[in-house]
């Protein structure tokens, strides 16, 4: 074979001969003379001009001096460009549809078909080459998405583990017959819960549930803790600390990390004290005291907790978009974003502007009335601070936003283990546009004062390490998966770089960003 000489130090596979400085490849890609920005094995970000060689879906060399290639390969001239690891969104809900609830999915099958056809490409359009679905309740959807020719790599937590009569079961008003069919966690330490005598509770132990999740190929366990700081009266059950510790132990024995939904002070302290690995959502609920609900001056107790979370290295997914996606629905601005034309057809955009698509807005507008009805003593002091419903939502969302920003800044300033996730698909919000939602989330982080270096690490190295994927993802190193982005500018200089992608490389396939959009 013809030997081609190029600049670069080579890190070789064992099968290559070091004395010849030769890499043998069969289906390769050479990205040359490009600025490589990557965390190293310790998570320290390095930047240098060099070359990267791929063979199929694997990185086989990172080079900065003379080496030889044997085999067939293509070239990308990276002069003046930047190469980074593909981005990881570690908190998505892929079976949910942004803009279509269950009823609309039944009446608009063509829109459903388009959404799932566009979903993989839309995530790739914004550089998300890896997704982690934290509640795999519809495995057939995940299987279909994993089998598309061009799409992100998908990992999953198993179907979420919840104790009987928890927050979601009660709020969804599930009948008893349906609840008993769920893979619920039997909390043997809670004597308030009763079960039919015919039910085999041994099948609902932490060990059995976790082994089932592990056998299905999932990489994590998701559970939840939701208390009264949401403004609702406590009419549901919380997991006991004893059963939570047993769940965490069972998960760790199977090599799975544990993610806990916990957006309150009590929930995050509970998660930390019982060994949870990753906290889902920032602490936007600080207190169940209605007189202090809008207070955004962080109490010393809350600050101390955040500092301890940072010190212990517990993963923390702020998910600004969970809250601010709702605000976007109320303000109805995102629908005019010109970027949508690269992600959806005109028909889909027209639907999002239609009256049928306003169900989400009505749901949010009705929430204060619902809270006032079920818990008037909680909501009355908040109502007294405003004159109109519009002002009510302004103060509520300003409060939530400031609290999230406070949490994220504290963690960033104290080297906390921030993990990038969007909660994409939560509540089927139409403002959770796949891919674009991630770019908006990144901008929220920067607006909160998080340095660009921390955003970069959170979406690459930190996510890979916390979900035990660092052997294959999170940095540009030999032997790792060839999920990479070629950018026109540096993400360490401007957040806009994440919207200036030239080429997406996923599973070794190099795709021009323009080819991923609706308008090519």
Would strands 22-24 and 3-6 be described as parallel, antiparallel, or unpaired? unpaired
What pLDDT score does 19 carry? 43
Q: What's the distance, Cα to Cα, between the start and end of the chain in Å? A: 37
Return d(Cα 94, Cα 102) in angstroms, integer.
Answer: 14
pLDDT digits (tens, 9 = 90+) for 117-127: 999 999 999 99
Report which listed range, 174-188, 281-295, 473-487, is most confident.
473-487
What pLDDT score does 14 carry? 33
What pLDDT score does 3 carry? 34
pTM of the predicted model over 0.85: yes
Q: Coil, strand or helix: which one is 292?
A: coil
Rounded mean pLDDT, 344-349 = 97
Question: Is 469 within 8 Å of 462 (Cβ atoms)?
Answer: no
Return d(Cα 263, Cα 463) in angstroms, integer.
Answer: 19
Helix, strand, coil % over all residues of the chain, rounded to 5 = 40, 20, 40
Q: Coil, strand or helix: which one is 50?
A: strand
Return d(Cα 205, Cα 344) in angstroms, integer.
Answer: 44
With CA atoms as reference, report the closest residue to 431 among 163, 84, 98, 79.
98
Structure tokens at 221: 């366990």
Return d(Cα 514, Cα 520) in angstroms, integer.
Answer: 5
- Evaluate if residue 519 carries a pLDDT over 80: no
Higher-confidence position of 70 and 347? 347
Lowest mean pLDDT among 171-175, 239-243, 384-388, 394-398: 384-388
The order of strands in the sheet holding 153-156 is: 87-92, 128-133, 153-156
DSSP 311-334: HHT-EEE--HHHHHHHHHHHHT-G
Distances (CA, A) of 116 to 151, 186, 483: 11, 35, 22
Which residues lie across from 35 on neighbouring strands?
Answer: 49, 82
Q: What is the dihedral of CA 179, 182, 184, 190, to 10 degrees?
A: 20
């Amino acid at each position: 074979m013809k030997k081609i000489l190029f600049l670069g130090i080579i890190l070789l596979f064992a099968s290559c001969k070091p004395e010849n400085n030769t890499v043998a490849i069969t289906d390769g890609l050479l990205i040359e003379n490009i600025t490589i920005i990557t965390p190293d094995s310790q998570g320290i970000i390095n930047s240098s001009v060099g070359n990267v060689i791929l063979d199929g879906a694997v990185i086989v060399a990172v080079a900065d001096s003379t080496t030889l290639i044997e085999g067939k390969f293509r070239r990308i001239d990276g002069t003046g460009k930047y190469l980074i690891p593909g981005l990881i969104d570690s908190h998505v809900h892929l079976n949910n549809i942004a803009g279509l609830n269950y009823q609309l999915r039944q009446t608009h099958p063509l829109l459903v078909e388009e959404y799932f056809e566009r979903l993989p490409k839309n995530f790739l359009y914004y550089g998300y080459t890896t997704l982690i679905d934290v509640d795999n309740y519809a495995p057939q959807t995940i299987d279909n998405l994993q089998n598309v020719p061009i799409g992100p790599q998908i990992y999953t937590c198993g179907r979420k583990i919840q104790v009987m009569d928890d927050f979601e079961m009660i709020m969804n008003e599930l009948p008893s017959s349906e609840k008993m069919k769920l893979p619920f966690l039997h909390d043997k330490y809670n004597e308030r819960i009763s079960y039919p005598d015919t039910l085999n509770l041994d099948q609902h132990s932490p060990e059995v549930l976790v082994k089932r999740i592990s056998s299905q190929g999932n990489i994590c366990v998701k559970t939840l803790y939701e208390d009264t700081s949401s403004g609702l009266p406590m009419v549901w059950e919380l997991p006991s600390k004893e059963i939570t510790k047993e769940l965490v132990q069972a998960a760790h024995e199977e090599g799975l990390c544990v993610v806990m939904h916990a957006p309150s002070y009590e929930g995050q302290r509970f998660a930390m004290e019982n060994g949870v690995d990753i906290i889902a959502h920032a602490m936007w609920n600080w207190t169940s005291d209605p007189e202090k609900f809008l207070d955004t001056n962080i109490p010393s107790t809350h600050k101390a907790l955040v500092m301890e979370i940072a010190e212990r290295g517990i993963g923390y997914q702020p998910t600004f978009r969970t809250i601010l996606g709702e605000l976007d629905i109320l303000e109805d601005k995102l629908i005019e974003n010109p970027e949508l034309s690269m992600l959806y057809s005109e028909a889909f955009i027209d639907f999002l502007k239609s009256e049928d698509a306003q169900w989400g807005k009505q749901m949010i507008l009705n929430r204060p009335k619902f809270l006032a009805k079920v818990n008037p003593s909680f909501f009355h002091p908040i109502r007294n601070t405003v004159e109109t419903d519009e002002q009510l939502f302004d103060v509520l969302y300003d409060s939530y936003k400031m609290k999230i920003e406070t949490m994220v800044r504290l963690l960033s300033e104290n080297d906390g283990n921030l993990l990038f996730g969007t909660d994409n698909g939560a509540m089927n919000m139409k403002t959770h546009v796949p891919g674009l939602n991630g770019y908006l989330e990144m901008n929220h982080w920067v607006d909160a004062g998080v340095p660009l270096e921390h955003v970069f690490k959170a979406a690459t190295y930190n996510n890979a390490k916390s979900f035990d994927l660092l052997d294959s993802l999170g940095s540009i190193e030999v032997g790792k998966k060839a999920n990479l982005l070629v950018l026109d500018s540096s993400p360490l200089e401007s957040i806009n770089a994440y919207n200036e992608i030239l080429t997406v490389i996923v599973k070794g396939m190099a795709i021009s960003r323009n080819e991923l959009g609706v308008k090519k």
